[in-house]
Amino acid sequence: MKSFLYLLFPVLLLTISIFGQTHDVTPWVKKKTVDGKEITILRVPDTQFGSPLVGPVSDVQYLLDRLANYYDKSPSYGGMDIYGNIERDCQNIEKEDSRFPVQYYRDEVKAFKDLKEEMIVKALAQKKADEEKAFFARLKANYAWISGDSLNVRTRPDAKSPSIGKIRRLSYIKAYEVDNNPDWAEINFGEHTGYVLREHVAADWDEMPLSHEDSTRLESGQQHYFTPTAAYTAQLKRAAAAEERAMRVANTAPARKYYTGPRGGCYYLDGKGNKQYVDRSYCR
């Protein structure tokens, strides 16, 4: 009995070793370059490891060979979930033979997913760069530029008139000549209008050689560099509040005719001809 066990033990060890060992696929591991990146791929002859693996190995490698055509599109391109089908085939291979190194296939899918993510990031960056280039081209063609720095924007073409704030170099503006006053230019930018000295307005972008500070400012993405005064800010707030009140009155006022009485009261006539007084703002 002991001699039988001594003979059986090495056989069991050999069996465990054989079935626990991963198939050697080194001869079929290769490198492939996609979009300048090298990835590792496994392409074994589908009959190499027995008939049970023929179908799933053939299927998964067929799909992997087409990933390069599909990865720059949707993973469900043509109505087929490529990633899902590859994973299904990997699971089928594992069921048939757990020693087959399907991780090669999964790593290849991950590499393509990473490439797709990089492609999306690059595409978004390129789109942003193209949009900025087109936007800047429109600016250069349709706008003038502030060439001086920290200019006072005046309410009138007069150095003694109040300033609404300071505008900095590289702000793009619409500029217009001022009648009978060639030293000044009327400028519009955003919601603001004012006057600056004409000598600080460049009609052509090429008139302004860029300094290092200019380049840094442009990279920040700002287009207007305007700092309003406290008085002008308060004026804008009052104007906005007045506009809001006017809109509120217009939206709530009933559709009827209003009359102003001899003492300044505001009223309308109801269906019986009687005066109905309302807030005086309705008569303004």
Name the residue ranges covered by the structural domains of the chain.
Answer: 23-120, 144-232, 253-283
* pLDDT, tens only, 166-205: 998 888 899 999 998 999 999 998 889 999 999 999 887 7
Tell me what pLDDT residue 11 has.
44
The second-level CATH assignment, the architecture, of 144-232 is Roll (2.30)
* pLDDT, tens only, 246-284: 877 766 655 678 889 887 888 888 877 788 888 888 887
* pLDDT, tens only, 24-82: 999 999 998 888 889 999 999 978 888 888 899 999 999 999 887 776 555 455 556 88
The pLDDT of 130-147, averaged and rounded, is 77
HEC string for the chain = CHHHHHHHHHHHHHHHHHHHCCCCCHHHEEEEEECCEEEEEECCCCCCCCHHHHHHHHHHHHHHHCHHHHCCCCCCHHHCCHHHHHHHHHHHHHHHCCCCCCHHHHHHHHHHHHHHHHHHHHHHHHHHHHHHHHHHHHHHHHCEEECCCCEEEECCCCCCCCEEEEECCCCEEEEEECCCCCCEEEEEECCEEEEEEHHHEECCHHHCCCCHHHHHHHHCCCCCCEEECHHHHHHHHHHHHHHHHHHHHHHHCCCCCCEECCCCCEEEECCCCCEEEECHHHHC
The pLDDT of 94-121, averaged and rounded, is 92
